[in-house]
Amino acid sequence: MKKTLFASILLALGVLTACHKVNYNGQTGKILHKKHNPALTISYVMDTVAQTWDTLRLDLDQDNTTDLKICFQYDTPYIIGSKDWELSVAADVYISEVNWWSRDYPVYWGQVLPICIRHTTEEGPCYGWLDCYSTIGSEGQVDAIRFYLRETAYCTCPNYPLKWGEK
């Protein structure tokens, strides 16, 4: 009965979590996948009197620490990696083949980006991805910029050639 209640609560919160086992070069790991329905949202409200904004913290590897922080720098949402976490953008390639990595990345409104993640561990790099976008609109008479996070995935198997969108 407790399991049924817990599952019902998770469904009510709109978070679907799945794990898919992977093997690569003699190592075993999991792809930790979360789909947020509705999407996780933070916003920046522009007003002549006050400006308000939110912060979102993500624990992709499920070790109870913040791996990525999503916040606004002025009116632009930024994804900021903690120590040993980096970001890039790619499409239709293995994330391990991405050549350019940065500790932070802006998500300008109107963009839908395939955000790639690299986490440097002692065993080798682990890869993941975010499905997110940003929009601008109005909240009453005030303009607001919103960031939406729809899905995340993180592979715990070092050096696994994860593709963006793989679950």
The H helix count followed by the E strand count for the chain is: 1, 11
Distance (Å, whole) CA 37 – CA 46 = 26
* Domain positions in the chain: 15-155
The model scores a pTM over 0.85: no
- Residues 76-85: pLDDT tens digits? 899 999 999 9
By the 10 Å C-beta count (0-12 exposed, 13-18 middle, 19+ buried), 8 is classed as: exposed
- Residues 99-146: pLDDT tens digits? 899 999 999 888 777 899 999 999 999 999 999 999 887 766 567 888
